[in-house]
Amino acid sequence: MTEKKIRPQDRWNAAHGLVSKSYKLQQEIVDNFAAACKQAGVSQAGQLTKMMEDFCKSAD
């Protein structure tokens, strides 16, 4: 049997606790969010993380 090779980026992601998620959203919402993030000068991933953290805090 051959061992499954682990890509360096997968090893780095695992070491830093990062996971990939996929969501299905309406195209208009995605486009508006991307434009708003660009205008605000923030990354989409960073903004999603902030919104998720804020929501989790408010749900407690």
Look at residues 20, 22, 19, 46 and name the one whose alpha carbon lies nearest to residue 34: 46
What's the whole-model pTM score? Answer: 0.76
Q: How far, CA to CA in Å, does 11 sit from each of 7, 31, 60?
A: 6, 31, 33
φ/ψ of residue 2, rounded to 5? -100, 145
Residue 1 pLDDT level (bands cut at 50, 70, 90): low
Residue 22 pLDDT level (bands cut at 50, 70, 90): very high
Q: How far, CA to CA in Å, does 26 sit from each of 23, 39, 45, 46?
A: 10, 20, 18, 20
Query: What does the domain layout of the chain look like in residue ranges?
Result: 24-60
**Six-digit token pair at 46?**
């960073």
**Six-digit token pair at 38?**
């660009």
